[in-house]
Amino acid sequence: MKRATRNSLLSLVESYFQDYLRRMSGVSVHTMRAFQDGLRLFFTFLAERTGRQIDRLELDDIREEAVLAFLDHIESVRHNTPRTRNCRLAALRSFVRHLLRHDIARAEQYRRILALPAKRAQSRPIAYLEPEEMRVVLAQPDRRRPDEVRDHALILLLYNSGARIAEALGLRTCDLTLVRPFSVRLHGKGGKDRICPIWGETAAALREHLRRGECSEDGLVFRNARGGQLTRDGAAYILKKQVDRAAQKLPSLRRRRVTPHVLRHSCAVGMLQSGNELVAIRDFLGHASVATTGIYTRTNLRMKREVLSTFWKRAGLDVRSHRPWRPTPKLLALLTSL
């Protein structure tokens, strides 16, 4: 392994994104964009801190004290939350691990950065829709219109499969099996594919969408009005439009921010409510660890009530109902004679 030269920082940045993240790690486009934003902010801060242009920064500038100052800056000046701070630190750690692989001479300098702890952040409850809320949302698209046939198929697929939005938007017709047994092949994070069974209703919605839509050479399932691939923003707009309509009939949806990822959470919680084991849900959603899937056990109030009720009965503390006491005729006669 060659020792990194004095001014090789920019070349290592390029190899990090082009070779490591894109080709070797296979991270999602969303993760790639988040890491790019994090490093861009860090290098901009570092250039201001050192008084040099970004292209004049060196490997010796990537130090623990600089990273700590940057993390303090994004909280105190940019007013970012601890959660965002931890995301920026995760991006820097990933990049520093890449530096360590190519610049062993500065191993101790990089080790200090990798040892920086994440900040404890308050966990937010998972947002999801109950099945009765989803039914109202799914009833909103006007399926006499081709674009809303597409909207209905997309929303139903996201809820049924728990697909990440990038997985759904990247689907091609060759990924769909719309004859029994119905299924969809999802291309997940890290180049990992998984096959998810889908309901007959979902298969029918997809068939109707493909029948009424125009065929394209690339086989994309979900396209925009111009024939290109539907974007994240486009999918979010579609969902918001249907949720806003549903909110007119279901007040609980008002002031709720329902994103495509909320439908993934809704799928997970629905599967958990149906009695499925965490391992099965993990495989269905494509989680790397069952610990990630475990967050759904902490978020559903109805399930918590059921667990508490089961525990109460198991402990033998269940209060059984009794008939209200009424005096017998003999007792009434005795009392009258006194």
Which one-letter DSSP state was computed for residue 183? Answer: E
Q: Token match 């269905």: residue?
A: 284
Active site residue 296: yes
Exposure pattern of 324-338 as b/e (b: 16+ CB <10 Å)?
eeeeeeeeeeeeeee
Select which of 189, 194, 207, 223 is catalytic.
189
Active site residue 264: yes
Select which of 85, 209, 282, 287 is catalytic.
287
Burial class of residue 269, CB neighbours in 10 A (0-12, 13-18, 19+): buried
Active site residue 164: yes
Select which of 98, 150, 164, 209 is catalytic.
164
Contact of 271 with 281, CB cutoff 8 Å: yes
Give kind and range of the element (H or E) at residue 237: helix 232-247
Exposure pattern of 96-134 as b/e (b: 16+ CB <10 Å)?
bebbbebbeebeebbeebeeeeeeeeeeeebebbeeebb
Q: How far apart are CA 271 and CA 72, in angstroms?
A: 41
Active site residue 52: no
- Nearest to residue 162, comparing CAs of 136, 190, 126, 191? 126
Find all residues with CB under 8 Å of 138, minimum gap 6, and list them.
152, 155, 156, 159
Select which of 98, 264, 265, 282 is catalytic.
264
Active site residue 232: no
Active site residue 287: yes
Residue type, 259: T
Q: Which stretches does DSSP call E strand in the chain?
A: 176-177, 183-187, 193-197
For the annotated catalytic residues, the residue numbers are: 164, 189, 261, 264, 287, 296
